[in-house]
Amino acid sequence: MTSAPASPTRPDTPVQREQPSAAREVFDILRTVGAALLLAMGIQSVAFQPYTIPSSSMEPGLVTGDYVVASKYRYGWSRASLPFDPPLGSGRLFGRDPARGDVVLFRLPRARQQVWVKRLIGLPGDRVQVRDGQIFVNGRGVPRADAGTVQDHDDPIWRVRQERETLPDGRSWLTYDRGPGSPGDDTPVLVVPAGNYLMMGDNRDNSLDGRFSPDIGVGFLPADHVIGRAEIVVASWRPGAGLWSPGHGSTCSPAGSSNRSVSGARTRRD
């Protein structure tokens, strides 16, 4: 009995794979976008968050249109440092005091949805006074040196005097002064309460800060309103050129590069 002849070998044919449905593709895209958003929110909640500067109260160190990155881990975390300011309890997790001279982003006590930026001048227990435009901390004047007269960056009709203030540890920064007799040039002795800070803008005659009562300025800033320390300027755009409108007044808007350090003195602007 003979067997049937073997059939000739046929070349392999490609395996037909099932094509993903449109619904599956949409799901995969949404899953990827969702994971990216969660990662971004996690980074902004824990480590860093960018903000844009819409006002001139921190000139010449920060000017309108600058985008700064705030580090949140420097001082620990509170509800103020979380996105959307959720209604959690008071206090700070792993809280640490900022250093005198730090540029700090914080939520305004009378309107927590507004984020402001100022320089820390007074720590808890400090006695701070301004006399003829010069800052005195615990009876000792912060040295200032004349750095020449320039046009105000955002208001060129004004000629302002630049002054360099220097702390005992060597940290220094430039300030603007429009001349004697301006509101805030002379204050009583301000004793910073425990758990609070005293903040000032570098544009001394154009800043509603801790020298003014909390109904028009900042007053004393509670520690749990602090968001983080301004570290670097990552971009500098003209007003209105950002992805989000920065609004008005002295607030900062979240945003998202000229890397310039702003933790102490600002490097020269290009």
CA angle 160, 262, 270 (to 5 degrees): 65
Token code pair at residue 26 = 């949409």
Active-site residue, 118 included: yes
Active-site residue, 57 included: yes
Among 55, 118, 250, 253, the one annotated catalytic: 118
CB 134 within 8 A of CB 269: no
Cα–Cα distance for residue pair 65/51, rounded to 1 Å: 10
State residue 131 phi and psi, 5-degree precision: -130, 120
Which residues fall within 8 angstroms of residue 82, CB to CB, at 6 or more apart?
45, 88
Alpha-carbon distance values, 263 to 55, 113, 171, 176, 247 (Å): 18, 24, 9, 18, 25
Which residues fall within 8 angstroms of residue 156, CB to CB, at 6 or more apart?
none
CA 261 to the chain's CA centroid: 12
State residue 205 phi and psi, 5-degree precision: -95, 10
Tell me how far apart the 2 most distant CA atoms of the chain are, in Å.
123
User: Taking the alpha carbons of 218, 201, 79, 114 in that order, is the dihedral positive or negative?
Assistant: positive
Cα–Cα distance for residue pair 6/46, rounded to 1 Å: 70
Residue type, 83: P
Among 57, 81, 207, 253, the one annotated catalytic: 57
Active site members: 57, 118
